[in-house]
Amino acid sequence: MQRTVATSLEERWDWADHGACTALPDLFYNAEDESKGVRRRKEEAAKRICGRCPVVEQCRHHAMANRELYGVWGGLSENERHRLAGRQRTG
């Protein structure tokens, strides 16, 4: 069986249209002036939404494969993705 490879940018991002966060992008990214407490509460809220998202696996795979640096993706925070990838945060 031959595997189909997505070739266009549109095909590669198809899953994102089905994400549970499409109407809440601000919750998934931190602003520089936010306190650690606010960041942590936003991350926890975002991860709860990821927990009921139908495309969580595709999102996580995308984030890890493309080394997305910022925000919550696929139920993982920035720090969690860095740890999984064996990287150190530099900023």
Q: Which residues bind ligand SF4 (CB under 6 A)?
A: 19-21, 28, 49-50, 53, 55-56, 59, 72-75
Spatial separation of the C-alpha atoms in residues 67 and 43, rounded to whole Å: 18
Q: How far is the CB of 75 from ligand SF4 (least distance, A)?
A: 6
Task: Name the maximum alpha-carbon separation found in the chain.
Answer: 51
Spatial separation of the C-alpha atoms in residues 26 and 72, rounded to whole Å: 11
Nearer to ligand SF4, 49 or 64 (CB): 49
Nearer to ligand SF4, 49 or 69 (CB): 49
